[in-house]
């Protein structure tokens, strides 16, 4: 047994590990609560001060050591879902309409699945601000390197969409989910890709 965090504090948790032994997680230090860190089996501990600035929480990690994260680019001030690799830097995926909520996952084919949470947009009329829809809009997104961003809401029955949870994503692009309808009805489901229909 080896101590992965090697911080003075005993409070912390790990999020994931890939086949190369790369680990990321959060730990409390004497100066910061929930400090982001990466542990590389070759380079040792890399703490948040050495990670790229303007990067939001890391969401997931694949076996190519690519991290799925959000990043704000200073030139445009726009936030993008990106892949980040310590040696090659950023690769833009798409510009979300809102925020990506956890869990968001990436597989070894660099496909991504996750929810976009979109704040209601205000409508201004005669100097007053109104909201067309006060509810948070949620879109289940699959991003594919070839086909780009695909909205999957239409593939989930309407009554189950609000409480649909992504559990896992395999390297064939199959999504394992938990669909809840009502208070007592839950279903384990698979969303299986049919790429030849994605151009429709």
Q: How many CA atoms lie within 13 A of 99 on its CB side?
A: 9
Percent of the chain with pLDDT over 70: 82
Return the bridge partners of 122, or none: 131
CA distance 36 to 49: 9
What is the reported pLDDT for 171?
95
The whole-model pTM stands at 0.82
**Positive or negative, the Cα torsion across 47, 52, 56, 59?**
negative
CA distance 112 to 68: 8
**For the residues of 111-151, what is the DSSP string, one character each?**
-EEEEEEEPPPEEEETTEEEES--SPEEEEEEEETTTEEEE
What is the reported pLDDT for 170?
95
What is the radius of gyration, based on Cα positions, of the chain? 19
Are 167 and 178 in contact, with CB atoms under 8 Å apart?
A: yes
Q: Residue-wise pLDDT tens for the chain (200 aa)?
A: 777 766 555 677 788 999 999 988 887 777 777 778 888 888 887 776 667 766 667 899 999 999 999 888 877 778 899 999 888 888 999 999 888 888 899 999 999 999 998 877 666 667 776 655 567 788 999 999 999 999 998 888 777 777 888 999 999 999 999 988 767 778 888 999 887 766 65
């Amino acid at each position: 047994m080896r101590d992965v965090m090697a911080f003075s504090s005993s409070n912390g948790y790990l999020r994931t590990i890939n086949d190369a032994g790369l680990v990321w997680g959060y730990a409390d230090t004497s100066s910061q609560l929930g400090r982001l860190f990466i542990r590389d089996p070759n380079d040792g501990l890399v703490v948040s001060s050495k990670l790229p600035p303007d990067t939001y929480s890391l969401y997931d990690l694949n076996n190519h050591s690519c991290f799925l994260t959000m990043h704000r680019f200073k030139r445009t001030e726009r936030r993008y879902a990106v892949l980040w690799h310590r040696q090659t830097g950023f690769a833009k995926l798409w510009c979300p309409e809102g925020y990506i909520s956890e869990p968001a996952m990436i597989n070894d084919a660099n496909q991504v699945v996750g929810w976009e949470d979109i704040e209601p947009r205000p409508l201004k009329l005669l100097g007053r601000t109104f909201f067309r829809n006060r509810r948070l809009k949620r879109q289940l997104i699959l991003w594919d390197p070839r086909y780009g961003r695909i909205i999957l809401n239409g593939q989930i029955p309407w009554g189950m969409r609000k409480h649909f949870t992504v559990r896992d994503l395999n390297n064939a692009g199959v999504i394992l989910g938990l669909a809840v309808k009502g208070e007592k009805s839950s279903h384990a489901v698979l969303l299986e890709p049919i790429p030849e229909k994605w151009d429709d």
